[in-house]
């Protein structure tokens, strides 16, 4: 079934079509979730950030000027909500230690509560070990890039507040790091490195995404 284009979806939503709303939320939910989780919000805060983003879209439906860029609008909105929530919770908990390196420092020391559930088998475990050894900025980028359905580069740019032109090269560098970490991990454990298809699907995500 061909996916309806987002401009058409927004048009239908504006006319009150709840089915179109469901298609739109299904399409972008994973992206919004990955952005919130990439910013190291816990489940409850990530859920609030995502929900406020949907409510804000409903609130501003008639004011969205470029419906075809709705994904980027959503990505920017959820990122800002996450920043707001982080700032407010940081202030509600005054005893929290100042982490060196700001967010990246904090991200490096925060345990991801979902990780335990993610470690389904040895290969996943190895992949996630390597993933968490990456720079936090790489982790954020890969989380967002690996969202299903795959986001456009414009949406990734909005999600991470980074120029579109830097996404491709940064992604290459991050994947190279990930491969090296996996190889080191395997060497340390005296195993064969995980098969290439276990690494994030580089080949299926060509640079053509940028012009989707």
Residues near other proteins, by CB under 8 A: 13, 16, 18, 21-22, 25-26, 29-30, 33-34, 37, 43-44, 46-52, 54-59, 61, 81, 83-85, 87-88, 90-92, 94, 114, 118, 120, 124, 142-143, 146-147, 200
Contacts of range 73-76, beta carbons closer than 8 Å, 24 or more positions apart:
73/158, 74/28, 74/31, 74/32, 74/155, 75/31, 75/32, 75/35, 75/151, 75/155, 75/156, 75/158, 75/159, 76/158, 76/159, 76/161
CB of 91 to other proteins, least distance (A): 4
Query: For residues 89 and 109, which CB has a smaller minimum distance to other proteins in the complex?
Result: 89
∠124-126-130 over CA atoms, to 5°? Answer: 115
For residues 114 and 117, give the distance between their C-alpha atoms in angstroms, rounded to a whole number.
5
Given the complex with other proteins, which of 91 and 190 has the nearer CB atom?
A: 91
Shortest separation between residue 24's beta carbon and other proteins, angstroms:
9
Nearer to other proteins, 143 or 171 (CB): 143
Residue 98 or 211: the one with the smaller Cβ distance to other proteins is 98
CB of 165 vs other proteins, minimal distance in Å? 24
> Minimum Å distance from CB 148 to other proteins?
9
As a whole number of angstroms, the distance between CA 57 and CA 41 comes to: 21
Nearer to other proteins by Cβ, of 70 and 85: the residue is 85
Nearest residue to 189 (alpha-carbon basis) of 135, 123, 143, 141:
123
What is the C-alpha to C-alpha distance for residues 34 and 26, in angstroms, rounded to an integer? 14
Q: Of 190 and 203, which has the nearer Cβ to other proteins?
A: 203
> Quick one: which of 134, 127, 161 has its CA closest to 35?
161
Least gap, CB of 29 to other proteins (angstroms): 6
How many CB atoms lie under 10 A from the CB of residue 153? 23
CB of 203 to other proteins, least distance (A): 17
């Amino acid at each position: 079934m061909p996916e309806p284009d987002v401009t058409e979806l927004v048009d239908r939503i504006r006319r009150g079509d709840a089915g179109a709303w469901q298609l739109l939320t299904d399409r972008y939910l994973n992206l919004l979730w990955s952005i919130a989780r990439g910013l190291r919000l816990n489940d409850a805060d990530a859920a609030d950030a995502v929900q406020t983003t949907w409510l804000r879209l409903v609130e501003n439906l008639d004011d969205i000027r470029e419906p075809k860029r709705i994904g980027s609008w959503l990505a920017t909105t959820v990122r800002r909500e996450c920043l707001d929530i982080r700032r407010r919770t940081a202030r509600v908990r005054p005893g929290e230690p100042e982490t060196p390196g700001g967010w990246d420092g904090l991200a490096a020391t925060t345990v991801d509560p979902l990780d335990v559930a993610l470690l389904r088998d040895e290969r996943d475990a190895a992949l996630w070990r390597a993933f968490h050894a990456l720079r936090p900025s790489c982790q954020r980028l890969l989380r967002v890039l690996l969202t299903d359905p795959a986001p456009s580069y414009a949406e990734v740019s909005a999600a991470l507040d980074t120029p579109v032109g830097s996404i491709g090269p940064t992604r290459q560098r991050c994947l190279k790091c990930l491969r090296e970490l996996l190889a080191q991990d395997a060497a340390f454990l005296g195993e064969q490195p995980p098969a290439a298809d276990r690494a994030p699907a580089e080949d299926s995500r060509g640079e053509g995404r940028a012009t989707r």
